[in-house]
């Protein structure tokens, strides 16, 4: 199981500060992109990650919570992303999104909000990302429905990832369900500090 830190910020300076906190702790970092359509609020401009100070060999993982994620593939390539996810609720054709991302040399996943059933997974899709709480800005607790969704998602034979609401109270239980990747916000730093103390 892999643990990957995330950056979800509206302000570039806050995003850069977070990057500096985590850049040496993980080879992968996920950038969450929100366009004020799928959910309220707008994250800092994706292109600005190239302006982060002390850029190193970070592997960028981009979670596109935007209208028609297929239209963002070139932006993701511009910032040298290695992996992208698109929210299925915001795309008109999953097959086209997956095919175009794969043809661009990207690892690609489909992301499902907590109330969206996991179905219609194209064969070329590499990963399934399950939101464990409602997507977007704000603090929400992990939704217990996630455990059944993990079981359902694993039937597709793809890597299964979890994002949102994971903390010290449910981390062990999530691990026991055999997910491949857990994306963590603040709790990532809490875990690191815990290991160091």
Give the pLDDT score at 41.
86
Q: The domain at 2-196 falls in which architecture?
A: Alpha-Beta Barrel (3.20)
What are the tens digits of pLDDT across the range 136-188? 676 777 888 999 999 999 999 999 999 988 888 888 888 888 999 999 887 67
Q: Lowest mean pLDDT: which of 9-13, 51-55, 72-76, 190-194?
A: 190-194
Give the pLDDT score at 185.
81
What are the tens digits of pLDDT across the range 58-109? 899 999 999 999 999 999 999 999 999 999 999 999 999 999 999 999 999 9
Yes or no: say if 52 and 79 are a contact pair by the CB < 8 Å rule: no
* Alpha-carbon separation of residue 71 from 66, 76, 128, 151 (angstroms): 9, 10, 20, 31
Give the pLDDT score at 38.
84
Give the pLDDT score at 184.
87
Flag whether pLDDT at 15 surpasses 60.
yes
Q: Which residues contact 55 (CB under 8 A, 6 or more apart)?
A: none
* Alpha-carbon separation of residue 126 from 22, 42, 78, 85, 116 (angstroms): 25, 27, 21, 10, 19
Give the pLDDT score at 195.
59
Flag whether pLDDT at 55 surpasses 80.
no
Flag whether pLDDT at 52 surpasses 90.
no
Could you tell me which residue, 22 or 125, shows the higher pLDDT? Answer: 125
Domain extents in the chain: 2-196
Give the pLDDT score at 192.
63
Flag whether pLDDT at 53 surpasses 80.
no
Instruction: Round to whole Å and give the CA distance between 112 and 122.
Output: 14
Which helix (H) or strand (E) segment is 13 a member of? Answer: helix 12-22
Give the pLDDT score at 23.
87
């Amino acid at each position: 199981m892999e643990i990957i830190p995330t950056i979800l910020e509206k302000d570039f300076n806050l995003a850069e500060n977070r990057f500096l906190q985590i850049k040496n702790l993980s080879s992968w970092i996920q950038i969450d992109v929100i366009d004020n359509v799928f959910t309220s609020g707008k994250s800092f401009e994706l292109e600005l990650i190239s302006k982060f100070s002390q850029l190193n060999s970070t592997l960028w993982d981009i979670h596109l919570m935007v209208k028609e994620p297929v239209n963002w593939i070139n932006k993701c390539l511009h910032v040298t992303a290695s992996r992208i996810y698109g929210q299925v609720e915001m795309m008109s054709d999953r097959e086209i999104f997956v095919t175009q991302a794969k043809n661009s040399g990207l690892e690609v996943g489909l992301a499902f909000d907590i109330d969206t059933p996991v179905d219609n997974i194209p064969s070329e899709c590499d990963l399934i990302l399950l939101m464990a709480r409602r997507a977007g800005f704000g603090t929400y607790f992990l939704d217990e429905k996630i455990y059944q969704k993990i079981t359902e998602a694993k039937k597709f034979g793809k890597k299964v990832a979890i994002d949102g609401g994971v903390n010290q109270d449910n981390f062990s239980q999530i691990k026991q369900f055999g997910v491949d990747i857990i994306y963590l916000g603040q709790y990532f730093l809490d875990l690191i500090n815990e290991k160091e103390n």
